[in-house]
Amino acid sequence: MKNSAEPSGSTLIKKSGLSLSQKQGLTGWAFLFLAAGLIVLMNFYPMVRGFMMSLQTGVGANMQFSGFVNYTRLFEDPRFRQTLINTFIYLLVQVPIMLILGLILATMLNSRNLKAKGFFRTAIFLPCAVGLVAYSLVFRQMFAFDGLVNTVLVNIGILETGHNWLGTPWSARLVIILGLLWRWTGFNMIFYLAGIQNVDTSIYEAARIDGANVFHQFWKITIPLLRPIILLTAIMSTNGTLQLFDESFNLTQGGPGVSSMTMSHYIFDTAFAGNPMLGYASAMSFAILLMVALLAFLQLKVGDRR
């Protein structure tokens, strides 16, 4: 006969405190608490403060609430309009070329018949490891009036005299585009190469047996299977181009005039150079944030067929 003084099962559970799943949940939150606190402190709090500042005008302690004056000023500022045009020129020209070139290079470097693949992969990816300031200064020297590019073009007879690459609007933009292609094509190529290497080789073998040439294999097999990776790299490249700063600041210094200046470069000048206008700079930052979010949403809607 069971002893009436013996505690029941429910009593033992109550005395034991938290259940195992509850303890595991609390342990997980304990590990996440510090990281979550840092994210809130370093990301969300500055974003809220930045938005509040974008609704203010003035300098320092004299800043006062002015509503959406800074945002309406964006539509009236010819310099912001010019930097917006410049940034979208880089976006529309450089990003498609970079993605297509990265796809082609990844396909070529995945060939079984290519020798020294490791060397070529490293050589193409290596520019990503070069410092932004360092490579900008090197490009600035190369495209100077007496630089390497003019010297070569004059010696081989393409140009009669040196061209002022950094002194005319379109050639200055071209130099920035070339610098971006040199630096970031290898970065995207690595993503595509990793994706291609995960494709079953029997798919390509079956296509070759059916008579598909290299172009048809690339168009009908490689691109459809890499669609998620292409979408990812397109979004990353778009976001990076819209926030482009180093090339404009270090390579062309935004010149001549503001003909090659990007929006981020203009925000920097507005916030820290001459007469600082932190409220207006914050408003421009949130305008870029809105553009990045909108373009990422459109790319997801167009590229994700699910």
3-state SS string for 93-111: HHHHHHHHHHHHHHHHHCC
The strand pair at 64-65 and 56-57 is best described as antiparallel
Place of tokens 């090659």: 260
To 10 degrees, the CA torsion angle through 76, 81, 84, 88? Answer: 130
57 has which bridge partners?
64
The per-residue pLDDT string of the chain (306 residues; one tens digit each, 9 = 90 and over) reads 455 555 554 444 444 577 888 888 888 888 888 888 888 888 889 899 989 999 888 776 677 888 899 999 999 999 999 999 999 999 999 999 999 999 999 989 988 888 888 899 999 999 988 888 888 889 999 999 889 999 999 999 888 888 999 999 999 999 999 999 999 999 999 999 999 988 888 888 888 888 888 888 888 888 888 998 999 999 999 999 999 998 899 999 898 989 999 999 999 999 888 778 889 999 999 999 999 899 888 888 876 665
Is 233:188 a contact under the CB 8 Å cutoff? yes
Distances (CA, A) of 271 to 59, 264, 278: 10, 11, 5
| Whether domain 76-305 has CATH 1.20.58.100 | no
User: What sign does the dihedral 183-184-186-187 (CA atoms) show?
Assistant: positive
Cα(196)–Cα(107) distance, integer angstroms: 7
Is 244:262 a contact under the CB 8 Å cutoff? yes
pTM of the model: 0.83
Give me the residue spans of the domains in the chain.
2-54, 76-305
Cα(179)–Cα(257) distance, integer angstroms: 20
